[in-house]
Structure 1
């Protein structure tokens, strides 16, 4: 019995005693040769199974095929359940003997660790030979880095909750809020906000809230970076991942209400029925016309008329003597009517029902003839020796003494200007 070996060193010897012939790769049809085709798989240029990537990242997966048989392979196909479409794309459909081929596929990283088995097959170009078959594991590890922020605000306190999960610590942590005083922030870990948060952190912080009246709205934002050791499609580490989270909200501080004013006390109503500003004016008017205490006397009273009201009296009138007088004896606004002058008209406060006790009853006298023998003196109702009349006379005399010479001098000056000495005829 003799044996023969293939040139490639991979062909199994087969001994035929009758013919002594060695056939390369002879095997029953329908089987598979796992030595003729070999495959190596890498993800993002890293051949390690479970390479670190980021969630949602597009991965480039490479399949390197090599044919160790001395015959060619056609209809080469690579099946990968993680690839988009489930099949890799190969540049050629045939693989020459002892040749190599590179196929590629795109994989979208999902959260978590994913490992699967990739298979490659090829059909021999020579009839009677079994199909080539190769398999290899492939996978990745994508861990999501998540940062969340929750904020609750009231009229007295701002509360924050920071939650971070990821494969690596969160560095350069910053919390910004227009309503927040960073120096007043206190966290459960002790002190202010720490500069870094380990993976799986759940931290609560708080600070006093502004208490100015009115609405308070703001956007709170927390940010940081994490070196998650993820690699790019070239196999190089990616820059640190920047994370951020926001929380929108606010509160309203009510405006303090003004203290209510105490109700005004109503002015007491006087017995005479006069109240308020109008009543006070009437009382003042009465006090200027009637003598003090005259309003309290029963029935109407007479009074001396002020000099400024003397022109209102008819010529030859004289004041009535003090004391009660019969109704109708007072003129308008308490102006006395001369004795003996009949007064007619409606009495204010008396009328057809008679006078009211205790109140003055002025009347408006109608024109009546003077009694016989009534003496008229003074001009325009002014009695003789009236200071007002005498003052007016002195004022007129003084005006004439001063104004007349001044007027004469002005006339002379104008005449001289109109006729200069050299131009007279």
Structure 2
């Protein structure tokens, strides 16, 4: 009897021991829920194990983090939330707040990458209200933000101009030189390779600037470092514009939002500067010393002698009608040569445009027509028809000119004195007239011929009138006889 009762008790106790546990009893599992029932894995731009090997993402590109949550317990998790310090606040989005038992859930965070290494520990939490417990899991995650960038500045120094062409007295196109200094700086977090500088505004191809020791590029530019390249250009005078362009690459392959591999882009930087090259003389031209301006000598109308009268004062004409009178040349140094009329002009002091002698040197010259008897073969009309250029302003007369008395009005100028004749010379007037005719200009000769033609017409008319009268007188004399 006692054996049967012990067997009954054992059959009742064994099923109770096989049960997972009852609520309220210490040590109960509550359907297998516990700290090891929740797990989380994270991928960054399709790359797993980002905590150990964070993928490279270009700064400014999109970062996509996917959090995969797995609940291996038999109890539902409520109020599920993911916290990641490396993600902007509120960036993680989950489709629901409940993770069913033996279920999965994926939360996603999308944001823009920033520079530098961004590693953090993400944490997921959920509550089991029936057990009054909070279950959590963690995962290490991160990415590296690749920041590549260039900055370019330039400064122009204008040099002295130099001649680059032209002929004759050094007159050529003057080109100036300008030295352009480019400063390139790496403000990224990765080294830059093969940085080249060009300038389309000045016609410089990439790699033309000298970056030191004859190198045409900066082989390696560390983060935060700067390098200087220079270029010398020659341009004509004027305003010019420089447009510098720097290019290089950090040679870092990054990952896109869907896990694709992206090659390193070419980084560029631009700058500009405006400079002006002044216009200067290309060389010293042959300088001619400035002297007194001379006027062409006036030619006489009828038998005029070029050169005028040679006075003792130098280059002046003695008073009109003073030829052959001793001392009549003094005091007229201010009258330009050739201003006196030619032989046959009635009164050379009265020619239009010639100033009175009194206004020149103080020596009074008699008015027009006061002296100057007509030379045979000449006439007053020819002298009036001759245009006389106005004389240039005379220089200051010498002191001896003030003491010379004016020529007498009765003295007549038969033939003007030549350059080599003085007032006391006794050269016959015929010789002087022949010399004057030899030196006569074409215009003066033409005018003289016209005057002679007019005089010949008068003679012919007189002959035509006198010959009939003479014949009539002869006939009348014969009748009376």
Shorter-chain TM band: 0.5 to 0.7
1:136 aligns with 2:162: no
Please, which moves more after superposition, 81-90 or 35-44?
Answer: 81-90
Partner of 2:180: 158
Q: Residue 122 and residue 255 in structure 1: after superposition, are their counterparts in 2 closer, same or farther (change >3 A)?
A: same
SS of alignment partner, residue 36 of structure 2 = coil
Deviation at 1:95, TM superposition (A): 1.4
Deviations 1:385-410 (A, max 9, x none): xx999853533577999xxxxxxxxx
CA–CA distance in structure 1, aligned partners of residues 91 and 331 of structure 2: 126
1:95 aligns with 2:99: yes
Identify which of 368, 374, 379 aligns with 1:332: 368
Unaligned runs of 5+ in 1: 1-15, 268-279, 314-326, 339-354, 364-386, 402-425
Q: How many residues get paired?
A: 314
Matches within 5 A, 1:9-408: 20=17, 21-23=19-21, 33-47=34-48, 48-49=50-51, 50-86=54-90, 88-124=92-128, 127-128=130-131, 130-156=133-159, 157-164=179-186, 165-167=188-190, 169-170=192-193, 173-179=196-202, 181=204, 185-193=209-217, 197=220, 199-200=222-223, 202-210=226-234, 212-256=236-280, 264=290, 289-291=321-323, 295-297=328-330, 306-309=343-346, 330-332=366-368, 335=371, 357-360=403-406, 392-395=454-457
Please say if residues 84 and 106 of structure 1, whose CA atoms lie closer than 8 Å, have aligned partners that are also in contact: no
Please say if residues 84 and 108 of structure 1, whose CA atoms lie closer than 8 Å, have aligned partners that are also in contact: no
Deviation at 1:205, TM superposition (A): 2.3
CA–CA distance in structure 2, aligned partners of residues 329 and 119 of structure 1: 127
CA–CA distance in structure 2, aligned partners of residues 44 and 390 of structure 1: 119
Deviation at 1:230, TM superposition (A): 1.2
Deviations 1:203-258 (A, max 9, x none): 33223232533333312111234432111101111232231112222433332269
Please tell me the root mean square deviation across aligned C-alpha atoms, in Å: 4.7
Deviation at 1:188, TM superposition (A): 1.7
CA–CA distance in structure 2, aligned partners of residues 106 and 211 of structure 1: 54
SS of alignment partner, residue 307 of structure 1 = coil
Unaligned runs of 5+ in 2: 1-12, 160-178, 294-310, 333-339, 351-362, 375-400, 410-448, 464-481
SS of alignment partner, residue 209 of structure 1 = strand
CA–CA distance in structure 2, aligned partners of residues 105 and 289 of structure 1: 123
CA–CA distance in structure 1, aligned partners of residues 450 and 121 of structure 2: 133
Please say if residues 78 and 87 of structure 1, whose CA atoms lie closer than 8 Å, have aligned partners that are also in contact: no
TM-score (structure 2 length as normaliser):
0.53
Deviations 1:80-128 (A, max 9, x none): 223232452111221111111111112332211111111111122x612
SS of alignment partner, residue 346 of structure 2 = helix
SS of alignment partner, residue 234 of structure 1 = coil
Deviations 1:136-185 (A, max 9, x none): 11211113112122322212422223333543643574523433655863
Deviations 1:336-361 (A, max 9, x none): 599xxxxxxxxxxxxxxxx9641436
TM-score (structure 1 length as normaliser):
0.59
Please say if residues 231 and 237 of structure 1, whose CA atoms lie closer than 8 Å, have aligned partners that are also in contact: yes
Please say if residues 168 and 228 of structure 1, whose CA atoms lie closer than 8 Å, have aligned partners that are also in contact: no
SS of alignment partner, residue 308 of structure 1 = coil
